Amino acid sequence: MAPPQSPTRYSLVNAKFQAHRAARLGVGEDVKLVTEGVSLQAKQHITIANLRSKRFTIRPVAQLSGLIVSVGISTLIQRMLPPTFISTRPYSWVGVIAVPISMSLAMFVIVNFLNYTRWRAVAAEHSIQSLAELAAFIAGRRRLGLRQEWAAHLAGDSGHDPVSWEKLKQAVGFLVSAVRYRCSDAADAAWTPVDAILKSRILSNLFVLLPTAAAGCLVLRHEGTLGVVTAAESIGAIGATLYGLIRTGRWWRNVKPPEPKAWSAKE
């Protein structure tokens, strides 16, 4: 990992992330990488930031205030409801307990989520990895190697590159790639029968002749022989259009049908 030139926010956030990740995983090497990768000033900032995040003043106060507010709200709800509402519901006391508990839990989650940079960093790492894995899942079983390939890509040149917005963009790019793979697969599947017709002379001839003959038969049945003579141009136009489609398709798909076989061995 190349050491950053100045203690930018980028290096701070990522250094903190790597340190927490290393602490979480119990990996000593990452901590070493972090200490090598950031400057002294950045390290001081990290220490201050860690101390701030570990203060025990914000979280209990926020949680206690959340609990008080939630109890107040639930009491208010109880007061606003008609007295018969509670007495007629045998399990209404569940709500009296569940509302403050759930609200304080929600407050706990929000406060912790906002307070802890570590959580955000870990969430960022997991989000990016999840995006890459989702992309590999979308890409399908035929491309199982992509999971590892994209993991290596996200790991970067050093193999331990920190989380950054660039990585998020790359992960979104993986999603785009996966969708494009699927579109390509779908297009290939759609072209398969068309290619089969274009490659085979018999199928190509049938594709031209069958609709033309069917049109001719229809006209013959309804209009008689005179009708066929009259509509000969239209019937011919159908055949010509279909033949044009075959020729255009062969050119477009770069398909060459096999050479026609000789009628006899002498030829």
Partner 1 sequence: MDVLDVLTNSPPDNPAWGLRLCQVTGHGTGTIYPVLDRLLKAGWIKDYWEDPPPADRPRRRFYEITSTGREQYTVALRARDERRAAWLRPSPQPGTAS
Residues that bind partner 1 (CB under 8 A): 29, 143, 145-146, 148-153, 155-157, 159-160, 169-170, 172-177, 180-181, 184
Closest CB 5 distance from partner 1, rounded Å: 19
Closest CB 247 distance from partner 1, rounded Å: 22
- Given phi > 0 = left and psi -120 to 50 = alpha, else beta, which region is 140? left
> 107 or 125, CB closer to partner 1?
125
> 1 or 103, CB closer to partner 1?
1
- Type of residue at 200: S
> 180 or 247, CB closer to partner 1?
180
- Type of residue at 46: I
* Crossing angle of the two packed helices 232-253 and 201-230, in degrees rounded to 10: 160
> 67 or 175, CB closer to partner 1?
175
- Residues 208 and 241: their CA atoms lie apart, in Å, by 9
Yes or no: say if 34 and 22 are a contact pair by the CB < 8 Å rule: yes
Closest CB 225 distance from partner 1, rounded Å: 53
> 45 or 167, CB closer to partner 1?
167
CA distances from 185 to 150, 177, 178, 197, 249 (A): 20, 12, 10, 19, 19
- Residues 9 and 16: their CA atoms lie apart, in Å, by 10
> 95 or 156, CB closer to partner 1?
156
Closest CB 213 distance from partner 1, rounded Å: 38
Closest CB 173 distance from partner 1, rounded Å: 3
> 105 or 168, CB closer to partner 1?
168
* Crossing angle of the two packed helices 232-253 and 165-199, in degrees rounded to 10: 130
Closest CB 134 distance from partner 1, rounded Å: 14
Yes or no: say if 199 and 253 are a contact pair by the CB < 8 Å rule: no
Cβ-based neighbours of 60, under 8 Å, separated by 6 or more: none
CA distances from 164 to 16, 28, 40, 83 (A): 12, 22, 21, 56
Closest CB 148 distance from partner 1, rounded Å: 5
**Token code pair at residue 232:** 């000969």
**Token code pair at residue 60:** 């209990």
- Residues 144 and 180: their CA atoms lie apart, in Å, by 16
